[in-house]
Amino acid sequence: MNNAEILNPIKDLLDEFESRFYKELGSEHTGINDLVAHVSKFKGKRLRPALLLLSAKCFDNFQPQHIDLAIVVEMIHTATLVHDDIIDEATVRRFVPSMNSEWGREISILFGDYLFSRGFTILSALDSQLATMLMSQTVNILCEGELLQLQKRYNKDMNERDYLQIIEKKTASLCASSCRLGAYFAGANKDAMESFTKFGLKLGAAFQIIDDCLDIVGDEDEVGKTLNTDIKKGKMTLPLIKLVDSLPQNRKEDTYKLIYNSQDCDDNTAMMELLTEHDALEYSYGVARNMVNDALSEISFIPDSIYKETLNNLANYVISRRK
Ligand code: FPP
Ligand code: MG
């Protein structure tokens, strides 16, 4: 099953989300609408809105605010990707030129801020102190994760625990908050809300581990974005940490050189051979698989429904995806 087939049970809600998402970004200035038109070509997986809508549906108490919240989480997510592509100097995102490659860094920085602030405007109109507080904290955590990642570039002491902390903050936090908001606005009790938050956190971390594997082994035409950016930018992701960990002391230094000197090199054959020899990718996929299983056990208490089944399918898609 592909992403669209998996999400078919909430197709109507996602269609409503889609039609409102770009309208909400509209401006009285045509120049800004040109930027919105560009970002409207970014048709992503809609993982965060889907998590939010499905979490709500699991409690059988869907509210109109859920659509607003789905728009908010996707707008904030899109803002982070616009900024992330500037940092990573990525030229392609979701099969189209990245904002920075088409409009330059200055416009893209400000357009990221535009998306981010529009998301918060919609959120604050919902008049929920809890939701505003949660999303403010989430964006703060997400920025912390991104800052830690930047500060730990080319750092030979970076270990698996540091890595897991970074991905939990930069990626999993927004997935966790999407599930939490979905459950909260559907009237879930505190325990159920906590379980859905943990589900989103574990699923989001697994998603990022696979993203980091695809950054090394994926095919740009299939994935639809610039790959190989982690190694080029000295980011020690799980497969690389595992690789260095598995090597005897006398081979570590040469491997760091191979990783750190690859900025201008598009040929990662030597790196691939090493990763395969030490099962570093297989190991990373295993960690992600265990996280998905843990995530699913968090929500096993929920009565069976098509929405629970869809969350299950989505969780399995996260680790089997090729894009
Ligand atoms: C993707 O990482 C990046 C993130 C999940 C978070 C990025 C966050 C920021 C840049 C902070 C900006 C904050 C605001 C509020 C605008 P990746 O490079 O591993 O993923 P990719 O392969 O999709 O590029
Ligand atoms: Mg990136």
pLDDT digits 0-9 by tens, 181-223: 999 999 999 999 999 999 999 999 999 999 999 999 888 888 8
To the nearest 10°, the Cα dihedral for 48, 52, 54, 58?
A: 150
Element (DSSP H or E) covering residue 60: none
pLDDT of residue 227: 86
What's the CA-to-centroid distance between 251 and ligand 1, angstroms? Answer: 32
Other Cβ atoms closer than 10 A to 255:
18
- pTM exceeding the 0.85 threshold for the entire prediction: yes
pLDDT of residue 265: 67
Cβ(235) – ligand 1 distance below 6 Å: no
More confident residue, 196 or 249: 196
Cβ(168) – ligand 1 distance below 6 Å: no
Cβ(215) – ligand 1 distance below 6 Å: yes
Any idea which of 68-77, 198-207, 243-252 has the lowest mean pLDDT? 243-252
The residue contributing the CA closest to ligand 1 atom 3 is: 84
Confidence at 301, pLDDT banded by 50, 70, 90: very high
Residue 87 scores a pLDDT above 90: yes
Confidence at 108, pLDDT banded by 50, 70, 90: very high
Cβ(77) – ligand 1 distance below 6 Å: no
DSSP state of 16: H
Least distant ligand from the CA of 218 = 1
What's the CA-to-centroid distance between 83 and ligand 1, angstroms? Answer: 7
Is residue 97 helix, strand or coil?
Answer: strand
Least distant ligand from the CA of 146 = 1
What's the CA-to-centroid distance between 312 and ligand 1, angstroms? Answer: 25
What is the rounded average pLDDT for all residues in the chain?
94
Residues β-bridged to residue 97: 92
Give the mean model confidence (pLDDT) for residues 111-134.
Answer: 97
Helix pair angle (47-57, 306-320), 10° resolution: 150
Handedness of CA 289, 293, 294, 296 (dihedral sign): positive
Residue 110 scores a pLDDT above 90: yes
Confidence at 268, pLDDT banded by 50, 70, 90: confident
pLDDT of residue 257: 85
What's the CA-to-centroid distance between 226 and ligand 2, angstroms? Answer: 8
Please state, in angstroms and rounded to a whole number, the distance separating the CA atoms of residues 166 and 155: 14
> Which CATH fold would you assign to the domain 11-307?
Farnesyl Diphosphate Synthase (1.10.600)
